[in-house]
Amino acid sequence: MTNGHDERVYLLTGATGGLGFATAEVLVAHGARVVISGRDAERVADAVSALGAEQAEGVVADNADPRTPHVLIAAARERFGRVDGLLVSVGGPAAGRITEIADEAWRESFESVFLGAVRITREVAAELGDGGSIALVLSNSVRAPIAGLGVSNGLRPGLAMVAKDLADELGPRGVRVNALLPARIDTERVRHLDALGGQPDEARAAAEAKIPMGRYGRPEEFGQAAAFLLSPAASYLTGVMLPVDGGATRAL
C-alpha cells in the first residue's frame, strides 16, 4: 500500500537534521521530492547529498526571516514545478525557567518559533490547492508543560491553536492542517536536554521509566508518522494534534 507521495513536492523547514530530516528521508523513500531548509549551508548541502540530489533541493534560510516563504516556494517551483505540502519544524527554544528567561530571549524565540512558523504556513497555504497538506512539528508541551522549558511551554500551545484555526479556514479549499506532538525522540536536541543536569544517562533512564513503551522513539518512527499525516492516505484528517510519544502523554 502506498501513501500516495509519488511525484508530490514538499517543503520542509529545519530539515537538515533531527525530526525534519527524518521526515524528508521517509518522503523521498516513498517517491516524493523535497525542498529542505536550514541556517547552515554546509549542513544543507550534506542533507541534500544524503537524500539524493535528484529528489532533493536545499535552501539556506532562517524561519525568522520574512523572505523565507518566498525563497522556499520559488525553489520548489523552479526545481520541481509545484508545491503540494509543507512541514514546519520550528526548532527548540533555549531551555530555562520562566522566572529566569529575559525579554530578549522571548522576543528571539517568538520571531523564529512562533511568528516565523505562522508566516511560512500562511504564505505556503496560499499556494496549495485541493489535496494540499500542512503539518507543524510542535511538542507534547502543547498538552502539559515540561519542566525547565518555559519558552516552549509558552509558545507551542499557541501554534497548536493556529493549526486548529487554519484547519477550519483551509478545509473548504481541500487543504489539511495538522500538528505532531513528539516527546522523547532520540535526537540531538533531546540528548542535549538530557545532558543539561550533568547526568545524561540518569536523565534518560528516568524519562524512559515514564514512557509506556519503555524507550525513546527513533527519528524514523517520527518520520513515518509525519509522512503519513502529510500524505493523501490521511485525506480526512485535519485539525489533528498527533502525539508521537510512545504513550507518554497521559491525557486524552
- Give the amino acid at 7: E
Q: Please give the average per-residue pLDDT across 231-248, as a whole number.
A: 97
**189 grid coordinates:** 536536541
From residue 250, alpha-carbon distances to 93, 106, 112, 153, 245 in Å are 24, 29, 29, 17, 10
The CA distance from 221 to 241, in Å, is: 17
pLDDT on residue 213: 96
Q: Measured between alpha carbons, how far is 43 from 37 in angstroms, rounded to an integer? A: 10
What pLDDT band is residue 1 in, cutting at 50, 70 and 90?
Answer: very low
What tens digit of pLDDT does each residue of 57-99 get?
Answer: 999 999 999 999 999 999 999 999 999 999 999 777 888 999 9
User: Which tens digits make up the pLDDT trace of 129-156?
Assistant: 999 999 999 999 999 999 999 999 999 9
Q: At what angle do helices 41-51 and 18-29 cross, to 10 degrees?
A: 30
- pTM given for the model: 0.95
User: CA 93, CA 130: separation in Å to the nearest integer?
Assistant: 34
Domains in the chain and their CATH numbers?
9-186+220-243 (3.40.50.720)
